[in-house]
Amino acid sequence: MNRRDLIKLGTIGSLNACSKPNHIGVNAPTDEYFNWRMATTWPPNFPGLGAGALNLKRYIEDASQGRIRIELYAANELVPPFEVFDAVSQGSIEMGHSGAYYWRGKAEAVQFFSSVPFGMNAHEVNAWIYYGGGLELWTEVYEPFGVIPFPAGNSGVQMGGWFNKRIDTIEDLIGLRMRLPGIGGEVLRRAGGVPVTLPGAELFTALSTGVLDATEWVGPYNDIAFGLHQAARYYYYPGWHEPGPIMECIINQSAYEDLPSDLQAIVRVACQAANLDMISEYNARNARSLSQLINNEDVEILSFPRDVLNQLEKLTHEVIEELIARDAQSAKVWSSYQGFMSQSKGWLRISEKSYLAI
Ligand code: CA
């Protein structure tokens, strides 16, 4: 029996712990090297989301002293952007960096691990993931696919998007062709709009040529990088559809279990570091980019009217109620999410919210 087989035997012990996320395998440290490939859903050299994937690669390589080496691929360089999950699941690549709502075709419950319209913000969602049972549920939802999830980034509250006309009432959404993924897209459909799923790299052209009437992307920092401010005039807030979107690191389960336990820990902690780094970067850079847009005469920054938000929230509840009625797994995840959120809102009301109101 060679050393590799011994390592594999070592993973048998860790299988018992697999139901627990963040499990520490029992594989002994080795001097073995691992060459991994990470594909992302983000365009090449993309600031923010793409930088998050690059940071994650560097943290893992540095902390492991090169015992894990990662080849990083942007969207379409190795895998099409919306096939990253399949590639990780099948083991044709070891890891990916993406957003869970792109995989709703696999299991509808995945949407609660990316972004829930009118749901929790980044502070709250991290609290749920790390301390409220969220990561256990996420691990359970991905388990049949042989994929292990970790949160590895968050953009914070996004912007509502770029529109080529004003939105004064909910009727203004009728017939509106807008790029809007996830549950938010379904809410738009119920409001009479036409949700479109397009990768980020195609948004500028689609909006400029009228293929889209509106698009959301992320926030000032990323949206300026795509030139979206040159493709539409009205920039709406808040991003009701993505109040605290989680970016995920997904790892092929066998590849993860093949790692000795010290490298598993490095991967896990690197994801936590990437998670903190991304929101810190977004908060810093969005603030700077926003002032750039405020001074741009071709851009009007507007709040969605209160009534439009109320109607969208009502439609969101309808969409979620139907989702949990037809899908038991979604019902289980929503029960945890909603229970956590209702407690969390009570605390946030007297902490963050009352402080910001000063
Ligand atoms: Ca977005």
Burial 279-305 (b: 16+ CB within 10 A, else e): bebbeebbeebbeebeeeeebeebebb
In one letter, which amino acid is 128? W
Half-sphere exposure (Cβ direction) of 266: Cα atoms closer than 13 Å: 19
Encode pLDDT of 267-293 as tens digits: 999 999 999 999 999 999 999 999 999
| Confidence at residue 26, expressed as pLDDT on a 0 to 100 scale | 61
Return the domain boundaries, the chain.
34-153+246-295+327-358, 161-241+297-308
Encode pLDDT of 291-318 as tens digits: 999 999 999 999 999 999 999 999 999 9
Using pLDDT thresholds of 50, 70 and 90, give the confidence band for residue 46: confident
Distance CA 324, CA 167 (A): 30
Domain topology for 161-241+297-308:
D-Maltodextrin-Binding Protein; domain 2 (3.40.190)
Asked if the domains at 34-153+246-295+327-358 and 161-241+297-308 fall in one CATH topology, the answer is yes
In angstroms, what is the span from residue 157 Cα to ligand 1's centroid?
9
Report the 10 Å Cβ neighbour count for 5. Answer: 9
In angstroms, what is the span from residue 37 Cα to ligand 1's centroid?
25
Residues whose beta carbons lie less than 5 angstroms from ion ligand 1: 158, 216, 242
- Please tell me the pTM assigned to this model: 0.88
In angstroms, what is the span from residue 254 Cα to ligand 1's centroid?
31
Encode pLDDT of 201-254 as tens digits: 899 999 999 999 999 999 999 999 999 999 999 999 999 999 999 999 999 999
In angstroms, what is the span from residue 155 Cα to ligand 1's centroid?
9
Please say whether the beta carbons of 161 and 216 come within 8 A. yes
In angstroms, what is the span from residue 223 Cα to ligand 1's centroid?
10
Beta strands in 171-316 (DSSP E): 177-179, 194-196, 214-215, 234-237, 246-252, 300-303
Domain topology for 34-153+246-295+327-358:
D-Maltodextrin-Binding Protein; domain 2 (3.40.190)
Query: What integer best gives the mean pLDDT of the chain?
Result: 92
């998050």: which residue's tokens? Answer: 52
